[in-house]
Amino acid sequence: MSRSNPRVLSTLERAGGFASAQEVYRLMQREGESIGLTTVYRSLQSLVNDKIVDVLRRDDGEAIYRLCGDAHHHHLVCKGCGDTVEIEGGVIEKWAKTMAEEFGFREVGHTAEIFGLCSKC
């Protein structure tokens, strides 16, 4: 295992708490930091394991990492500018639990994201 390189987290924060691994890497390079792409990936993964960042997917499949709070939440993502709003999803939790019970599923998790165009786009 490896611990996260603190500069990666700090860069992700500076990026607005929302960026892909490649973007974090490029940003660090531009700022003259000496780091390898591999380390960026490893650090981000480790941050995901520690639940310090959240990972979701762009439309093109690229993984984007974002700082998240402790509470489990869902996202409303703008397809235009990438702006993200954290939203409440109590309804979803209940729905997932009900459905899982109905079909005898255990150890269930779920994903639920809403995407569209925000008022600015």
Partner DNA sequence: ATGGAAATGAAAATCATTTTCATTTGTGAT
Partner DNA sequence: ATCACAAATGAAAATGATTTTCATTTCCAT
Q: Closest Cα partner for 62 from 94, 107, 24?
A: 24
Q: Which stretch binds its own copies (CB under 8 A): 14-22, 25-33, 46-54, 113-121?
A: 113-121
| Binding string, residues 26-65; x marks residues near its own copies by CB under 8 A | -------------------------------x-x-xxx--
Task: Output the six-digit token pair for 33.
Answer: 């930091």
Which sign, positive or negative, has the C-alpha torsion 39, 22, 25, 74? negative
DSSP output for 47-83: HHHTTSEEEEE-TTS-EEEEE--SS--EEEEETTT--
CA gap 80, 70 in Å, rounded:
27
Report the residue number, 63 or 76, with the smaller CB distance to DNA.
63
52 contact partners, CB below 8 Å, separation of at least 6: 4, 9, 67, 68
Interface with DNA by CB under 7 A: which range of 1-9, 76-84, 89-97, 103-111?
A: 1-9
**Least gap, CB of 55 to DNA (angstroms):** 8
Could you say whether residue 43 binds DNA (CB under 7 A)? yes
Chain residues that interact with its own copies, rule: CB under 8 A = 57, 59, 61-63, 76, 78-79, 85, 87, 89, 91-92, 94-96, 99-100, 103-119
Q: Which residues of the shown chain bind DNA in the complex (CB under 7 A)?
A: 1-3, 5, 20-22, 34-39, 41-43, 45, 61-63
